[in-house]
Amino acid sequence: MVAKSVWKSYGQVRALIDATFQIDTGETVAIVGDNGAGKSTLVKILTGAIQPDAGSLELGGREVAFRTTRDSLQLGVTAVYQNLALADNMTVAENVFLGRVPTRWLRVDRRRMERESAELLGSLAINVPDVRARTASLSGGQRQAVAIARSFRSGRQLMILDEPTAALGVQEGQKVLDIIEGLKGQRVSIIVVSHNLDHVFRVADRIVVMRGGRIVGSRRKEETTTADIVHLIVGTRE
């Protein structure tokens, strides 16, 4: 996916200034930056949650225009947001299939949902007590894992994970990172937005740094250091 010269303003505030971003098939890119750097604006534009004032998007070499998140979903672009991921009143299987519930003779095909959810979660080595359990009964890490599984199911082209470990404890955060690493062999492109540089260095192939609405650097993981990235984030090095 490519975002070319994208601009976005909210009133007088310039949230995104001439941002050009690219991610290749199967690549995992981390977007880092301070609060207000423009990370959320960029990923919202990539999913169609908001529209850019100028610039264009390309997916698989073709120009695309996402007016809503449904448009991007149809082309296999999904996002997992920090606190908006799941409907807690519903089961794990229902959450995995949310938005694309299978039916048979107009009836919801629960058997299929439960079977395929169990297979999907199993293939990603995600442990939940039961796919029929309400997600409200799961731990934070399990909930995040279910949200990632759902995103993976519909996001065959690009998955965007917004702060996937922010609200989790150390152990649960590590488990979620294991799942992200497990996804890397599946030919899906992954964008991880995170403040945690240790986590970023563990899962990303490339790190993109944003500051003040601009993309100020892009480094391959092997060619950079934490200190280098921190300098880019705070603006002591270009």
Partner 1 sequence: MADTNQAIQANTNRSPAFRFGLSRYRQLIALLIAVLLLWTVLSFASPYFMTVQNLTNIALQSSVVGIMAVGFTILLIGGEIDLAIGSTQALAGTLAALLIIQRGLSIWAGVLIVLAMGLIVGNVNGYFSLFTKVPSFIVTLAMLGVLQGLAFVMTSGQTIGGFPEAFKVLGHGRVGVIPLPVIIFFSVTVLVQLVLSQTRYGVELYATGGNREAAGLVGISVRRVLMLAFIASSMLCTLAGLVLSARLNAGHGSFGSESLLDAVAAVIIGGTSLNGGAGNTFGTLLGIILISTIKNGLILLGVDPFWQQVAVGALILAAVLVDKTIKGELSPKDLLPRLVRR
Q: If phi over 0 gives left and psi between -120 and 50 gives alpha, with beta otherwise, what is residue 26? A: left
**Alpha-carbon gap, residue 134 to 107, rounded angstroms:** 21
Q: Which is nearer to partner 1, 25 or 89 (CB)?
A: 89
Q: Which is nearer to partner 1, 140 or 212 (CB)?
A: 140
For residue 157, the minimal CB distance to partner 1 (Å) is 15
Question: Using alpha carbons only, how large is the chain's radius of gyration in Å?
Answer: 18
Q: Which is nearer to partner 1, 65 or 125 (CB)?
A: 125
Six token digits for residue 111: 């058997």
Q: Which is nearer to partner 1, 79 or 209 (CB)?
A: 79
Q: Which is nearer to partner 1, 100 or 187 (CB)?
A: 100
For residue 174, the minimal CB distance to partner 1 (Å) is 14
For residue 24, the minimal CB distance to partner 1 (Å) is 25
Beta-carbon contacts of 11 under 8 Å, excluding residues fewer than 6 positions away, are: none
Q: Which is nearer to partner 1, 127 or 225 (CB)?
A: 127
For residue 131, the minimal CB distance to partner 1 (Å) is 5
For residue 106, the minimal CB distance to partner 1 (Å) is 6
Beta-carbon contacts of 3 under 8 Å, excluding residues fewer than 6 positions away, are: 19, 20, 21, 22, 42, 45, 46, 55, 56, 57
Q: Name the residues that contact partner 1, by CB under 8 A.
A: 49, 69-70, 73-74, 79, 81, 84-90, 92, 94, 98-101, 103, 106-108, 114, 117-119, 121-133, 150, 154
For residue 121, the minimal CB distance to partner 1 (Å) is 5
